[in-house]
Structure 1
Amino acid sequence: MRGSALLRLALSPLVLVAIVLVAMLLPELTGVDSARSVLAVRYADADPDPRVIAAIRADLGLDRPLWQRLVERLGRLCTGRFGTSWVSGDPVGAQLGRAFQVSLSIMVTALVVSFAVGCAAGLLAARRPGAVADRVVSACNRLASAVPEFALAPVLVAVFAVGLHLLPSSGWRGPANLVLPVASLVPVLAAPVAAVVRTQAAALRGENFVAAARARGIGEFRLWTRHIARPALPAALSLVTYKAAGMIAGTAAVETVFDIPGLGRTVVDAVRAQDIPVVQAGLVVAAAVALFVGAVGDALHLVVDPRSRGGAA
């Protein structure tokens, strides 16, 4: 485990470089004529004038060799200049910054709730393996793992927004708009955490230190929440951060369903509109965030898991 975590940490910069190169080459890889896309977006010109097309190509730098365009794009990216949107004309950096703040609030809230729910469910199931609570938690885990975010989100809208009128179905105006998106993400994240905590806690409940704690008169609640839960948390923490690295795709689907102006929906809308500067910057930001979160998870596992430290000795 320690070796694989170190390998992922070492490869993260190389993976990010590869993703940046692919993003910078998007106009050439997709075969989209950037000049015609800009013309269609800005002027809706169905029969473009060759002179106008040539002027746009010169303005975008498309009349220069590929290697020069690539170096210029990488230079702008390294200096934090993402360019301007072809659709809105706004700076891409400011647009993605606002969208990322929205997505970050959704992801952080979902991760915290998922970790708490998963740990509580896993400990409850581990108290009496095979009992009713254990079977219920296992069934909920299987159901949650089988239902993706984009399938659960419309169901929640139909029940709590359309049917019961308790929560808003779309938009981003206040804390109430956070509830359903987070509820759509929590089950698929909490299920593996609950399974890991259940396995770890069920194995720990028969250890000698648990019997010694009971002999000292420690209550069951304190025993499970402090003495058994604490050794089981490193694996759960590592898992939830690993899942968070791949959470951006699920967040994008949820943002699209709930019409939330987050990073995922911004990139999806940019793809539909062929707004290449926004797509390029969005992919780089999403990849960087995913790799950073994954690296944090691997680093946390190496720090908090005593077996990893022991293996390093």
Structure 2
Amino acid sequence: MTAPTSEPETGAVAASATASTQLPRRSGTFLWTTARRAGAALVTLWIALTIAFALGRLSGDPTATILGPMASQDQRDALRVELGLDRPLLVQYLDYLGGIITGDLGSSLQFYQPNTTLILDRLPFTLQLVGAGMLIAVLVGVPLGVLAATREGTWWDRASSALALLGQSVPVFWLGMMLVLLFAVELGLLPAGQSGSLKHLVLPAFTMSLYPMAHVARLTRAAMSEVLREPYIDGARARGLTTGAIVWHHAFKNASLPVLTIVVLQAGALLSGAVAVEYVYSWPGLGQLALQAIQFRDFPLVQAIVVFGAVVFVLLNQLVDIFHAVIDPRLR
């Protein structure tokens, strides 16, 4: 006769079988979610590239800008043939997508250089500006948001909320001009523009930091306020932990996920949209290059800059998803 199996052993076997069946299911769900997000990112990138192509063709005929108003129609037609603008629009679009896939972003009509070379030459200046701006935004915005959350309802909270609202409302170009008038013209403390030293970076970096600083402060306050109401925070207080340990070692760790998300996304937005700041301070970055390309109707260069910005923004979105899965085990 076979001995009867005990109930604990049966429960252990059942639990083991359940875990073994759930593990592949969870793994498959995670892979399917990752593939779906990657597909959505590719569709978003394709839409952005298509819009860039359409806007480049709607900007006007670049031959008039290149040859000048005194050029004849025959000269313009010859240049259109040389640039490939005489071909059907669909053929131009397919060649444009094919060049992006192979890494060929074309050549500039204004500088007579490959667009990739021009972008890589200006990229370090924009990265320097964006990095300094985001560093200021995080160093000021995070403590400001934490202070507002821990002193909710007090004048500290109202003051930080007012500063955050002001940072989101002030136009960047107006702030840049006011800072130039104050610190460069009136006080003579800092350079008015250009690049070259740390002093040249102070004003444009602070101007760049104000808008993301307001976002970081408001989101940090909201996330911290929600976490500080959790039951485990009351348990930490009951165990006699100090306020600093509760706020920074317990609450802020759980509130850091949305803050990290907004920091990465704001960095991508600044990287692809630093036109106004670079124009005000004559900063030789991608924004200044984009303005020069637009004024010259250099649509291959404009398209290349838009493509670069779109690729960076989509990759940063994917990076945020990966960070979420690494930080929060529930998402895995």
Offset, 1:282 = 1.0
The Cα shift of 1:139 comes to: 1.5
Aligned to 2:157: 134
Q: How does 1:77-92 map to 2 (within 5 A)?
A: 77-92=100-115
Q: Partners in 1 of 2:161 and 2:93 — Cα distance?
A: 51
Q: Does 1:38 align with 2:73?
A: no
**Residue of 8, 17, 26 corresponding to 2:46:** 17
Cα 1:125–1:63 shift into 2, 3 Å:
closer
C-alpha displacement of 1:217: 4.1
Between 1:93-102 and 1:7-16, the stretch displaced more is: 7-16
How does 1:193-212 map onto structure 2 within 5 Å? 193-212=216-235
Cα gap change, 1:25/1:124 in structure 2, threshold over 3 Å: closer, same or farther?
A: closer
Match of 2:138 among 92, 115, 134: 115
* Deviation sequence 1:96-122 (CA, Å, 0-9, x none): 112222112222222233223221111
State whether residues 115 and 304 of structure 2, in contact with CA within 8 Å, keep that contact through their aligned partners in structure 1: yes
| 1:219-273 superposed Cα distances (whole Å, 9 cap, x missing partner) | 3223322122111111111122233343346511111111111111211111011
Cα distance change, pair 7–168 in 1 and its aligned pair in 2 (3 A): farther
Change over 3 Å in CA distance of 1:204–1:71 after alignment to 2: closer
Q: Is the 8 A contact 1:170 1:177 kept in 2?
A: yes
C-alpha distance in 2 between matches for 1:266 and 1:295: 27
Q: Quick one: distance in 1 between partners of 2:273 and 2:57?
A: 28
Percent pairwise identity: 31
Secondary structure of the equivalent of 1:198?
helix
Map of 1:266 onto structure 2: 289
Query: For this pair of structures, how many residues does the alignment match?
Result: 302
Per the alignment, do residues 127 and 5 of structure 1 end up closer, same or farther by CA in structure 2, a change over 3 Å counting?
Answer: farther
Residues 153 and 257 of structure 1 are in contact (CA less than 8 Å); yes or no, is this contact kept in structure 2?
yes
Structure 1 pair 259–286 and aligned structure 2 pair: CA distance change class (3 A) = same
Kept after mapping to 2: 8 A contact 1:185/1:250? no
- Any gaps of 5 or more consecutive residues in structure 1? 41-45
Aligned to 1:246: 269
Q: What is the CA-CA distance between 1:77 and the residue it aligns to?
A: 2.8
Alignment partner of 2:274: what SS?
helix
Q: CA RMSD in A?
A: 2.7
Q: What is the letter of the counterpart of residue 13 of structure 1? A: L
Cα displacement (A) at 1:75? 2.8
Distance 1:74 1:63, change over 3 A: same
Q: Which residue of 2 aligns with 1:187?
A: 210
Q: Partner of 2:153: helix, strand, or coil? A: coil
Say whether the 8 Å CA contact 2:56–2:302 is kept in structure 1.
Answer: no
TM-score normalised by length of structure 2: 0.81
- Give the letter aligned to residue 84 of structure 2: G
Match of 2:71 in 1: 48
Tell me if structure 2 keeps the 8 A contact 1:150–1:257: yes
State the alpha-carbon separation in 2 of the partners of residues 166 and 58 from structure 1.
53
Higher mean C-alpha displacement, 210-219 vs 88-97: 210-219
CA positional deviation for 1:195: 1.9
Write the distance in 2 (CA, Å) between the matches of 1:56 and 1:238: 47
Shift of 1:94: 1.0
Task: Quote the residue 1:277 is aligned against.
Answer: 300
The partner residue of 2:148 within 125, 128, 132 is 125
TM-score (norm 1): 0.85
Q: Which 5+ residue runs of structure 2 have no aligned equivalent?
A: 1-29
Amino acid at match of 2:78: A
Distance of 1:250 and 1:51 partners within structure 2: 39
The answer to whether the Cα contact below 8 Å between 2:268 and 2:312 also exists between their aligned partners in 1 is: yes
With 92-101 and 60-69 compared, the bigger mean Cα shift is at 60-69
Partner AA of 2:295 in structure 1 = R
Bigger mean CA offset, 142-151 vs 244-253: 244-253
Aligned to 2:11: none
Please tell me whether the aligned partners of residues 150 and 250 of structure 1 are also in contact (alpha carbons under 8 angstroms).
no
SS in 2 for 1:119: helix
Following superposition, the deviation at residue 58 of structure 1 comes to 2.5
Contact 1:6 1:298 survives alignment (8 Å) = no
